[in-house]
Amino acid sequence: MTETIINLETVNPIEFFGVNNSKFDILKKKFPLLKILSRGTQIKLSGAPEQIDLAKEKIDLIIQYMERNGHLSENYFEQILGGDDAETIDNFIDKNPNDVLVFGPNGKTVRARTANQKKMVLAADKNDIIFAIGPAGTGKTYTAVALAVRALKNKLVKKIILTRPAVEAGENLGFLPGDLKEKIDPYLRPLYDALDDMIPADKLGYYMTTRTIEIAPLAYMRGRTLDNAFIILDESQNANDLQIKMFLTRIGANAKAIITGDPTQVDLPRNQKSGLEKASRILQNIEGIAHIQLDEEDVVRHKLVKAIIRAYDKERENETENSYHR
């Protein structure tokens, strides 16, 4: 039996071990063949040499991540421990500072964290239109907004336009209380939340006042030509065929567009059909249009979100299979 001691002198041990040792318990479950003990700023590993080497490699990666980012969620902690290949590791330990998309308020760094999010970044550099399709929590919207903010800060575009279909009220918002802004803000709040992470409040307020950044329901895009802009259509699964066509034909000179959506979460009335599947299908193999498919491995929310997505996918598969046997 071999023993190794790892020092946590360069990181906060409380952050490493988690509240009530929650992260430390994840580490021990990941390596059940090892005896893992902690004391102060030290971790003691006892067991087979190959198991110790693997555990030490993972712990070193976690330390590197924490040295760069400070905070480490349980979800990221578990993902780093579970990554068994170089690509997974590189998703978390970014050695090139140019990988940072945006430096947000208080020094926060915003970057693509997963393989498919990084594909979105590469696609945005080479294409003018991107379809980013995948389940909830995969960072589609967040990465798209970061790319838009980066383009604005680098003066590649003059404005950012963020839009969503307001389907919950059928885009007829008149019955809601308040003025127009108060009526539509609840539907657009996720876009505001992303911007809050990337732009200081005073500067964001200035951008909104000067319409450098514009957030509006999809219906308000009709009849416009959007030049010198980075445009994002979020929740596009809730746009019908004509609405998506309308949006795509708004794109003007020196403009980029990202269309995000989750085909499994369509909220349209039963008599309306989502236009996302058709648009992504008929626009395949067109130069300048990229298609990125995100999946459960890109989930960066709570660790249970991944399990929830798997459960719903399995249920949908069962329902489809049962329909064939009827």
> What gap in Å lies between CA 116 and CA 138, rounded to an integer?
9
Instruction: Indicate which CATH number applies to the domain containing 16.
Output: 3.30.1370.10
> What gap in Å lies between CA 58 and CA 81, rounded to an integer?
6
Q: Is 82 helix (H, G, I), strand (E, B) or coil?
A: helix
> What gap in Å lies between CA 7 and CA 4, rounded to an integer?
10
Domain boundary among 66, 92, 118: 92
List the Cα angle 255/273/145 in 5-degree steps. Answer: 30
| Residue-range definition of the domain harbouring residue 179 | 97-323
Domain boundary among 92, 123, 141: 92
Q: Are residues 73 and 125 in the same domain?
A: no
Answer for the pair 234, 144: CB distance below 8 angstroms, yes or no: yes
Q: Are residues 309 and 197 in the same domain?
A: yes
Digits of tens for pLDDT over the chain (326 positions)? 789 999 888 888 888 998 889 999 999 999 999 999 998 889 999 999 999 999 998 898 888 877 766 667 787 788 788 765 444 455 555 545 456 788 777 656 788 878 888 899 999 999 999 999 998 888 899 999 999 999 999 999 999 999 988 765 444 545 555 555 565 667 678 888 889 889 988 999 999 999 999 988 888 898 898 999 999 999 999 999 999 999 999 999 999 999 999 998 888 888 889 999 999 999 999 999 999 999 877 776 666 776 787 788 788 777 766 665 55
**pTM of this prediction?**
0.66
Instruction: Indicate which CATH number applies to the domain containing 252.
Output: 3.40.50.300
Q: Are residues 57 and 155 in the same domain?
A: no
Number of structural domains, the chain?
A: 2
Domain boundary among 77, 92, 107: 92
Q: Which long-range contacts (CB under 8 A, 24 or more apart) does 279-282 make?
A: 279/131, 279/236, 279/241, 279/244, 279/245, 279/248, 280/131, 280/133
